[in-house]
Amino acid sequence: MISIQKICAKDYGENQINAWGKREFQHEKLATCIKNDDIWVVESKGLIEGYGHLKTWPEKSHAEVLGLYLTPNVTGKGLGKTIINLIKARAKELGFNKLNLSSTKTSKFFYESAGFQQVGPDDSCLIGGVEIEGHPMEVYL
């Protein structure tokens, strides 16, 4: 939420940031993700300052980055790149040859520098009834 409020806010409207970047912490949902998926965190001075989330659907031969968010305290140090490389390596290890995601407007250039390309027209998802635009992207592993 801090990452959205402090970094993505420059590319989205106030109503979008209010709906998307100020959601309640969902303990149960996140506990399920931690149990079932691959998640990496950035820890600094005892605080979690970022995370990356890989979700795989073996039955659908599909691997997706569901989230990669850092706070401004730890951006620009190569940690995003380190996490995306760990995600790619893990997806490959699990037998996938392609990785998909929907990037924020803010992170499109970051993903391009990590080898991703936009596939298809810009997309969007509804969060709290508000449309949040993004870019469908993929990379072959």
Ligand X SMILES: CC(C)(COP(=O)(O)OP(=O)(O)OC[C@H]1O[C@@H](n2cnc3c(N)ncnc32)[C@H](O)[C@@H]1OP(=O)(O)O)[C@@H](O)C(=O)NCCC(=O)NCCS
Chain residues that interact with ligand X, rule: CB under 6 A:
3, 7-8, 68-70, 75-81, 101, 103-104, 106-107, 109-110, 113
* C-beta of 3 vs 56, nearer to ligand X: 3
- Structure tokens given for 41: 């965190």
CA–CA separation, 26 and 79 (whole Å) = 25
CA–CA separation, 126 and 141 (whole Å) = 29
Element (H or E) spanning 133, and its range?
strand 130-140
Residue with the shortest CB distance to ligand X: 80
CA–CA separation, 104 and 109 (whole Å) = 10
**Cβ neighbour number for residue 88 with a 10 Å cutoff:** 20
Shortest separation between residue 102's beta carbon and ligand X, angstroms: 7
Shortest separation between residue 114's beta carbon and ligand X, angstroms: 7
* C-beta of 95 vs 109, nearer to ligand X: 109
Shortest separation between residue 93's beta carbon and ligand X, angstroms: 21
φ/ψ of residue 128, rounded to 5: 55, 35
* C-beta of 18 vs 95, nearer to ligand X: 18
* C-beta of 5 vs 141, nearer to ligand X: 5
Shortest separation between residue 77's beta carbon and ligand X, angstroms: 6
